[in-house]
Amino acid sequence: MASTLNAAVSLTSSKSSSLPATSYAIAPDRIRFAKGAFNYKSNNVVTSRRMVSVRAEVTTTDTPPVKKVEKESKKNEEGVITNKYRPKEPYTGKVLLNTKITADDAPGETWHMVFSHQGEIPYREGQSVGVIADGIDKNGKPNKVRLYSIASSALGDLGNSETVSLCVKRLVYTNDAGEVVKGVCSNFLCDLKPGSDVKLTGPVGKEMLMPKDPNATVIMLATGTGIAPFRSFLWKMFFEKHDDYKFNGLAWLFLGVPTTSSLLYTDEFDKMKAKAPENFRVDYAISREQANDKGEKMYIQTRMAQYAPELWELLKKDNTFVYMCGLKGMEKGIDDIMVSLAANDGIDWFDYKKQLKKAEQWNVEVY
């Protein structure tokens, strides 16, 4: 839309003689007042010789609006559904399976559970669902929703698009007063029996959606139950057949846990590795049992440091996507690795990471 300024200008001399008012069409950006002062209350300009009164109105002419070019997402976003079910009106699913998947001597229990949703919660790999535990809180109100990353592909563990799976660690700890505290929702979920009802909300989230490019390099960084969204990725990549998707890229998983007995889904990952050795790599970081050459505990960033130059070269490609899920703070350890590598190429890592985020190639979900 273009605009012009119609200005009526009256000139008054210092001797009170007047000139007739004259109207002009003036472009707004051409109005200049030099060597004078403008009185905003009276719309007057006072110069050394005379007073100028300006009355102006802006008129517009229609021009075609500028079309906003929408950025096309690199992720599998098309048709994704969010918040179909909300806390006030959740969906009631059924528990089909609930089994402990960590060894008895593991420091803490982790459970894999499968719920039926009869096709009513059409989620996508990388999304989350909410769970509302039965009962009331300390204030006498219904328990609040708790979000969990989905651990199954969109087809579900049964392959019929009617189930959703979660990977949940039972939260039990001793507080400063010496009291044993149990997480409300995690214990509710881990104690569920097949046939029980469970209130579900969602699906939610777009941050962790898979890339559309079947030739992409997908680097997955997980600690503990942060493995959930990556199990959903990997099932779609290696265990399923799709008419519109066949993964031909590289999927590289780093999983950090405290002990070997805490490792999750290793049988599945072994089968994937055997099936597609050129397309799948997995590296474990077992902090209480492994160490690097310097004697440092093997955390996920410590394991990644052993492949740092290779990882940095991958991160310079526009079809490499990094996904991070797990404990808050894990990102800092990874930043520490990349800062010096980027600096060797004259690149500021934190600026570069911002570019990766903007390009949807750096995706983080931590808790």
Q: Is residue 17 part of a domain?
A: no
CA triplet 231, 201, 180: central angle to 5 degrees? 75
Same domain? 291 vs 223? yes
Q: What is the pLDDT of residue 72?
A: 80
Residue 163 inside a domain? The answer is yes
Q: According to the model, what pLDDT value does residue 6 have?
A: 45
Domain stops at, among 148, 171, 204: 204
Ligand-binding site membership of 58 (annotated): no
Indicate if 226 and 352 belong to the same structural domain: yes
For the sheet with 197-204, list strands across it.
145-149, 128-132, 197-204, 91-100, 110-116, 163-169
Tell me which residue range forms the domain holding 297. 217-366
User: What pLDDT sits at residue 63?
Assistant: 59
Residues in the chain: 367
- The answer to whether 288 is a known ligand-binding residue is yes
pLDDT confidence of residue 51: 47
| 88 marked as part of a ligand binding site | no
Q: What is each CA distance from 121 to 40, 56, 351, in whole angstroms?
A: 61, 60, 38
Annotated catalytic, 148? yes
> Does 77 carry a binding-site annotation?
no
Same domain, 270 and 191: no
Question: Smallest Cα–Cα separation from 363: which of 340, 336, 341, 334?
Answer: 334
Check whether 202 is labelled as a binding-site residue: no
Whole-number pLDDT of residue 16:
41
Q: How far is CA 238 from CA 150, 233, 266, 280, 311, in A?
A: 17, 9, 14, 9, 22
Bridge partners (DSSP) listed for residue 169? 110
Per residue of the chain (367 residues), what is the pLDDT tens digit? 544 444 444 444 444 444 344 443 434 443 343 444 444 444 444 444 444 444 545 445 555 555 555 668 889 888 999 999 999 999 999 999 999 999 999 999 999 999 999 999 999 999 999 999 999 998 999 999 999 999 999 999 999 999 999 999 999 999 999 999 999 999 999 999 999 999 999 999 999 999 999 999 999 999 999 999 999 999 999 999 999 999 999 999 999 999 999 999 999 999 999 999 999 999 999 999 999 999 999 999 999 999 999 999 999 999 999 999 998 888 898 899 899 899 999 999 999 999 999 999 999 998 8
In this predicted structure, what is the pLDDT of residue 64?
58
In a domain, 240, yes or no: yes
Please identify which of the residues 91, 262, 299, 365 carries the catalytic annotation: 365
- 236: closest CA among 257, 211, 219? 211
Give catalytic status of residue 367 as yes or no.
Answer: yes
- Is 161 a known active-site residue? no
Query: In whole angstroms, what separates CA 114 from the centre of its chain?
Result: 24
Q: Do 353 and 253 share a domain, yes or no?
A: yes
Question: Nearest 10 degrees: CA dihedral of 324, 329, 334, 339?
Answer: 130
Q: Does residue 287 belong to any structural domain of this protein?
A: yes
115 and 151 part of one domain: yes
Q: How many CB atoms lie under 10 A from the CB of residue 146?
A: 18
Helices (H), 265-329: 266-275, 300-305, 308-315
Domain-located, residue 11: no
The reply to whether 193 and 113 lie within a common domain is yes
Q: Which of 91, 123, 148, 265 is catalytic?
A: 148
Q: Where among 137, 172, 204 does a domain terminate?
A: 204
Q: Do 189 and 261 have their domain in common?
A: no
Rounded CA gap, 85 and 345, in Å? 48
41 is in an annotated binding site: no
Predicted confidence at residue 49, as pLDDT, reads 43
Whether residue 1 is contained in a domain is answered as no
**297 annotated binding-site participant:** yes
147 inside domain: yes
Q: Are residues 250 and 324 in the same domain?
A: yes
Question: Are residues 199 and 221 located together in one domain of the fold?
Answer: no
Say which CATH number the domain at 141 has.
2.40.30.10
Q: What is the CATH number of the domain that holds 227?
A: 3.40.50.80
Query: Based on the domain organization, do 232 and 298 belong to the same domain?
Result: yes
Residue 253 vs residues 163, 269, 296, 351: alpha-carbon distances, Å:
25, 10, 21, 25
Q: What is the pTM of this model?
A: 0.80
Active-site option among 149, 152, 186, 262: 149
**Domain end among 157, 177, 204:** 204
How far apart CA 184 and CA 25 sit, in angstroms, is: 72
239 and 180 within one domain: no
Active-site annotation holder among 167, 185, 190, 325: 325
Q: How many CB atoms lie within 10 A of CB 270?
A: 11
Check whether 258 is labelled as a binding-site residue.
Answer: yes
**225/320 same-domain check:** yes
| Residue 225 assigned ligand-binding role | yes
Domain count, the chain: 2
Predicted pLDDT of residue 284: 98
